Amino acid sequence: MILVTGASGHFGSTAIHTLLENGIPASQIKALVRTPAAAEPWHPLGIEVALGDYDDYASLIKAFTGVSKVLFVSSSDLSHRLSQHRNVVLAAKEVGVAHLIYTSFQRTTESSASPLWGVAESHLQTERWIEESGIPYTFLRNNLYLDFLPAFIGAEVLQTGVIFVPAGTGRISAVLRSEMAEAAAKIVLTPGHEGKVYSFSHTESVSYETIAQHLAALSGKSVVYVSPEVDVYAKTLAEFGVPAESIGIFSSFALAQASWELDAPSTDLATILGRPLTPILEYITNIYFPTQA
């Protein structure tokens, strides 16, 4: 039995559909969701649904019972992620899960000096807890989702003619979330991944300067990249009504890009998928020029 957590989210649901497409019977898949409403899409497919919450240890024990492999999709609740992840690891150990596949985080700095320490710290601790638990594991260290890149570039970039991000000259190796989820499912499907750590980064890296040049060439308009001071960036986002918590996250990721923290090309993901990854600039073209894709 395979259990996928976060089954109502993009990553978890893509992983489950990949398992089905690769011949895993629905009767061998269990989806963990928090609410009955989130369970509804899985019932017609014959997939068992477990109602559970990372904050509810008893619900995790019940959900994990009888499960051999768990695809553990990390929590998006930054304020409570440490305690939630602790619950998951302890519950998996208590019921005897045979293999824990954890979606961790790509980083080059493992200290508070990292601009992304607020994000990375809980992942580092979770990895340590999993290692100490004795559960056979696989760590998937995910880079920035390529799906989030348009939020940094701006929806109106072709109208404003400016990419406004304090990322300096840094490059990023962002990858589509769907490709990461598909690869995670393939790891669940195949043997030999225990004790392995995979870097789910792109095989290429791209700068915002390159993206600006690409958009300009496709549009025939002027598109420039401006890297402001981070306080100016934060103030500008606030003026547009962006919530303070979101400003903090965007700023941290921008500074991480400026520090080259997310410039970490790797062949791991492409190798597991058995095909080239969607090129970063191709994805940008699809978003901003869908008729030219």
pLDDT tens, position by position, 85-132 = 999 999 999 999 999 999 999 888 777 777 887 888 899 999 999 999
Quote the pTM value.
0.94
CB 263 within 8 A of CB 205: yes
Task: Report the Cα–Cα distance between both ends of the chain, in Å, rounded.
Answer: 40
Residue 145's nearest CA partner among 50, 97, 76, 87 is 76
As a whole number, mean pLDDT of residues 135-159 equals: 96
> What was the pLDDT predicted at 186?
97
CA distance 119 to 107: 10
Q: Residue 291's pLDDT band (boundaries 50, 70, 90)?
A: confident
Helix ranges (DSSP H) in the chain: 10-21, 36-39, 57-64, 81-95, 117-133, 149-153, 157-160, 177-189, 208-219, 230-239, 244-258, 268-273, 280-288
pLDDT at 144 over 90: yes
> What was the pLDDT predicted at 108?
80
Q: Residue 293's pLDDT band (boundaries 50, 70, 90)?
A: low
As a whole number, mean pLDDT of residues 68-85 equals: 95
As a whole number, mean pLDDT of residues 25-38 equals: 96
pLDDT one-digit tens code per residue, 199-215: 999 999 999 999 999 99
As a whole number, mean pLDDT of residues 185-192 equals: 96
pLDDT at 59 over 80: yes
Give Cβ neighbours of residue 287 (< 8 Å, ≥ 6 apart): 150
As a whole number, mean pLDDT of residues 62-74 equals: 97
CA distance 106 to 95: 29
**Which residue's entry shows tokens 């961790």?**
104
> What was the pLDDT predicted at 126?
97
**Which token pair is 23?**
């011949």
pLDDT at 196 over 70: yes
Angle at which helices 81-95 and 57-64 pack, to 10 degrees?
Answer: 40
pLDDT one-digit tens code per residue, 226-271: 999 999 999 999 999 999 989 999 999 999 999 999 999 999 999 9
CA distance 88 to 228: 40
As a whole number, mean pLDDT of residues 3-22 equals: 97
Backbone angles phi, psi at 42, to 5 degrees: -90, -25
Give Cβ neighbours of residue 24 (< 8 Å, ≥ 6 apart): 2, 189
Mean pLDDT of the chain: 95
